[in-house]
Amino acid sequence: MRKYFSLLCIAASVFMAGNVNAQNPIVRNQYSADPSARVFGDKVYVFPSHDILATPGKGRVGWFCMEDYHVFSSSDLTDWTDHGMIVSQTTTPWTKPDAYNMWAPDCIEKNGKYYFYFPASPKDSSYGRGFAIGVAIADKPEGPYTPQPTPIKGVHGIDPNVFIDKKDGQAYLYWAQGNIYAARLKPNMVELDSDVKTLAELPTKGLKEGPYMFERNGIYYLTYPHVENKTERLEYAMGNNPFGPFKIAGAIMDESASGCWTNHHSIIQFKNQWYLFYHDKDYSPNFDKARSIRADSLSFNPDSTISKVIPTLRGIGITAATKEIQIDRYSKIADKGISISFIDTTNKFLGWKTSFAQQGAWIQYNTVDFGIKPLKSVIVKAVSTEGGILQIRVNSIDGPVIAEVKISKTNDWKINTAGITKQQTGIKHLFIVSKDGKPVDVDWVKFQ
């Protein structure tokens, strides 16, 4: 029966798999949090938590509610594929099937097998109270994953993170439960191989959780969210080996301006660039337990410390000019006469619109690839009750106007097209400017 059910789940996952767009947030078809990004082969895989909204009888209303995990992948950091559900509370042998406590996970590859670590509430009190941490194993990053029959013995807590030291191939498990703990893993990756070590050099006041370890140039970076003030910010400490001792080094990302209480992250290097994956509450401004994952570039200072990451909406990756360019995920925006809001507040996953309301109001969207063949026209999906004119410029706000788009007078979203007067190739920064100040709402812009 269990086998039949697993097959059904796999079939449902494949059916539900789909492509989602780039920019921040990365995942656009569901809530997502606690992103564990990994480079496997020539792709980046992200293993996030999957927030859903609790309703009476399903989870605890007003709190985190998570029943399963999805995995996403991208080869260009722009187009992300949702591979569907990989592990669920109802199909894991040891988890309480109605606890909705499948919190922040992680995944790692060893000898061609993929080990997915996840915290959840056990159904059997012999595994201890609170959270235990289990493992599911697959032959491919996107699954199918087979959960182990029992959680890892000797581990109680949340937010597992696994690190394999390239120096000697030793795997370490980190997790949180008030403090941050670490232990060696056996070669089978599912049992501890040492005593549990408390990483005591970290801040003693204010919650810390979500450990994420990585190594660069022989320095071991233990990174973690910590409540130094009122909400979590991402901090780090540096050491000479995976068990420390560690020296507190500062903040990677400040507290969210949105007030999202949690943050949770991972750091990877992909094609010579480092990236920080983290979360905020983009699709749920009023409830910070329904979060969305994001990514921005990260860099190091000459002394090996981390340069603070300022969160952006534009995020990472290059946007093809021929795709729908969501200009509301801007790189920069004029101080006045322009604003961003949800297209439909009753269905926020429809995304955002940019409202132009003043002559000269502008928005900048960086790194658009016009390709090698000149494109002929630009399409703007817009609505304007008075009609208006938008200029499309490249390079800078004073850069050449490559098209002027007359937005027709209408009460409904409409496609407006104009010819390109100055052909473009290669990667350009895009500027959309209101020529006449008439109110115009824009959903997206694309070239063809």
Residue numbers at the binding site for ligand FUB (CB under 6 A): 33-34, 49, 64, 103-104, 158-159, 209-210, 262, 264
> Shortest distance, CB of residue 222 to ligand FUB, whole angstroms?
15
Which of residues 230 and 247 has its CB atom nearest to ligand FUB in the complex? Answer: 230
Residues with Cβ within 8 Å of 126's Cβ and at least 6 positions away in sequence, in order, are: none
> Shortest distance, CB of residue 36 to ligand FUB, whole angstroms?
11
> Shortest distance, CB of residue 12 to ligand FUB, whole angstroms?
23
Q: Which residue has the tokens 């301006």?
A: 257
Cβ–Cβ < 8 Å for 297, 321? no
Task: Take residue 402 and report the two structure tokens written for it.
Answer: 């490559």
Task: Take residue 258 and report the two structure tokens written for it.
Answer: 């949105």
Gyration radius (Cα) of the chain, Å: 23
Is 320 in a helix, a strand, or coil?
strand
Which of residues 33 and 405 has its CB atom nearest to ligand FUB in the complex? Answer: 33
Strands, sheet with 266-270, edge to edge from the N-terminal-most edge strand: 266-270, 273-280, 292-298
Q: What is the DSSP letter of 385?
A: S
> Shortest distance, CB of residue 34 to ligand FUB, whole angstroms?
5
> Shortest distance, CB of residue 264 to ligand FUB, whole angstroms?
4
Q: How far apart are CA 233 and CA 225, in angstroms?
A: 5
Which of residues 143 and 210 has its CB atom nearest to ligand FUB in the complex? Answer: 210
CA atoms within 13 A on the CB side of 63: 10
Q: What is the DSSP letter of 112?
A: T
> Shortest distance, CB of residue 199 to ligand FUB, whole angstroms?
16
Closest CA to 31 of 329, 255, 282, 263: 282
Cβ–Cβ < 8 Å for 92, 147? yes
Strands, sheet with 113-120, edge to edge from the N-terminal-most edge strand: 106-110, 113-120, 132-138, 146-147
Which of residues 106 and 443 has its CB atom nearest to ligand FUB in the complex? Answer: 106
Which of residues 265 and 428 has its CB atom nearest to ligand FUB in the complex? Answer: 265
Task: Take residue 315 and report the two structure tokens written for it.
Answer: 């995020």
Active site residue 34: yes
Q: How far apart are CA 296 and CA 49, in angstroms?
A: 19
Which of residues 102 and 375 has its CB atom nearest to ligand FUB in the complex? Answer: 102
Residue 2: its H or E element: helix 2-16
Active site residue 139: no
Closest CA to 50 of 279, 350, 285, 295: 279
> Shortest distance, CB of residue 122 to ligand FUB, whole angstroms?
16
Which of residues 64 and 365 has its CB atom nearest to ligand FUB in the complex? Answer: 64
What are the residues facing 68 on neighbouring strands?
Answer: 88
- Pick the catalytic residue from 68, 106, 159, 209: 209
Enzyme catalytic residues: 34, 209
